[in-house]
Amino acid sequence: MSGMTPSAASLYDRVQRVIPAIEWPVFSDDIDAILRLKRERNAVILAHNYQTPEIFHCVADIVGDSLALARKAMEVEADVIVLAGVHFMAETAKLLNPSKTVLIPDMGAGCSLADSITPEDIRLLRQRYPGVPVVTYVNTSAAVKAESDICCTSGNAKAVVESLGVPRVLMLPDEYLAQNIAAQTEVEIIAWKGHCEVHERFTPEDIREMRAAHPGVTVLAHPECPPEVVAEADFAGSTAAMSDYVGREKPARVVLVTECSMSDNVAVDHPDVEFIRPCNLCPHMKLITLGNIRAALEHNRHAVTIDPAVAARARLAVERMLAV
Ligand code: SF4
């Protein structure tokens, strides 16, 4: 471990269970540079739960699921926000902080859900279902949010749907999230056909095989998984709810049926829990690295911009959600 700067060295203690010592020198130089650049630029880094541990635990100031990042983005006291996550998250941060510079280290960090629906699709759905409110998952572009009545996340979708006081809603674009919420509420939910490319790959057989291979394992699934997968799980919830579950229930063995990095990030705080790690990577989340976070701060790239007319309407849908 020679050659590490003192600040990176002090951070390594925290992540040594999930980052092998041999890999650390690759990260430490960028970590020290990022810590310095954050001070120089009065910048904060917001990181999603699916970011790798050297980002999540070593350079991020605020971490969480989409809902937490959206909420905390509003309270940020900084000139610059770097969003270590995917593009729709950076747009949401910009919507809530229009006067701040919001940077995303790689413009190509998209999302299969966000790509599954366009503003035009929503306008057509409104013609087909007149008067039915449109609830849009935050995993969408600002232009799609602008066509919506209210946003939701996997953490608050049921509460948002029920807050509207109507018998029927359109819930877009995640078909599985819509079906999983429909199973928990009296409100009729009309779904779209979007899927998360990470969660749609899990199958009920995967869960049964994990239970057979790891007796006694507690299975926590994300509600973007197909309903047949959620039915096989012991608990379904957002990444924040999964993390809370592990902290509260302290299962001896657990599997988080979601993106790979989530287990590494939660494992850091729970040395007594054995994590079984099926690995489905989100290729978009993995485009964000320490190297491009550093470059983002050094070169002020890539600044997120949103057409002001679109932003005003999209912000309303996000703010309505945050008020629920
Ligand atoms: S994990 Fe799924 S929902 Fe999240 S960014 Fe990747 S593709 Fe989108």
The bridge status of strand 218-221 relative to strand 188-191 is unpaired
Nearest CA to 82 out of 47, 30, 35, 40 is that of 47
Ligand 1 environment, Cβ below 6 A: 50, 86, 111-113, 139, 196-198, 259, 282, 284-285
DSSP per residue, 98-117: TTSEEE-S-TT---TTGGG-
Handedness of CA 57, 59, 63, 66 (dihedral sign): negative
**Pairwise CA distance, residues 45 & 78, whole Å:** 10
**Pairwise CA distance, residues 108 & 301, whole Å:** 13
Cβ–Cβ under 8 Å, residues 96 and 315: yes
pLDDT digits (tens, 9 = 90+) for 141-166: 999 999 999 999 999 999 999 999 99
Which ligand 1 atom sits nearest the alpha carbon of residue 284? 6
Strands of the sheet containing 80-84, edge to edge, are 62-64, 43-48, 80-84, 101-103
Strands of the sheet containing 218-221, edge to edge, are 235-236, 218-221, 253-257, 274-276
For residues 263-279, give the mean pLDDT: 93
Nearest CA to 49 out of 203, 237, 301, 313 is that of 237
Please choose from 139, 225, 265, 281 the residue to mutate so as to test ligand 1's pocket, defined by most ligand atoms within 8 A of CB: 139
pLDDT digits (tens, 9 = 90+) for 169-205: 999 999 999 999 999 999 999 999 999 999 999 999 9
pLDDT digits (tens, 9 = 90+) for 54-75: 999 999 999 999 888 888 888 8
Report the predicted TM-score, pTM, of the whole model to 2 decimal places: 0.94
Q: Where are the alpha helices (DSSP H) in 152-250?
A: 157-163, 175-182, 204-213, 227-232, 239-249
Binding residues: 48, 66, 111, 137-139, 154, 196, 222-224, 239, 282
Cβ–Cβ under 8 Å, residues 50 and 282: yes
Please choose from 141, 198, 287 the residue to mutate so as to test ligand 1's pocket, defined by most ligand atoms within 8 A of CB: 198
- The single-letter DSSP state of residue 174 is B
pLDDT value at 289 more than 60: yes
Q: For atom 6 of ligand 1, which residue has the closest CA? A: 282
**Mean pLDDT over the full length of the chain:** 95
Q: For atom 3 of ligand 1, which residue has the closest CA? A: 196
For residues 93-113, give the mean pLDDT: 96
Helix (H, G, I), strand (E, B) or coil at 85: coil
CA of 141 from ligand 1 middle (Å) equals 13
Q: For atom 8 of ligand 1, which residue has the closest CA? A: 111
Which ligand 1 atom sits nearest the alpha carbon of residue 199? 2
Which ligand 1 atom sits nearest the alpha carbon of residue 114? 8
Q: For atom 5 of ligand 1, which residue has the closest CA? A: 111
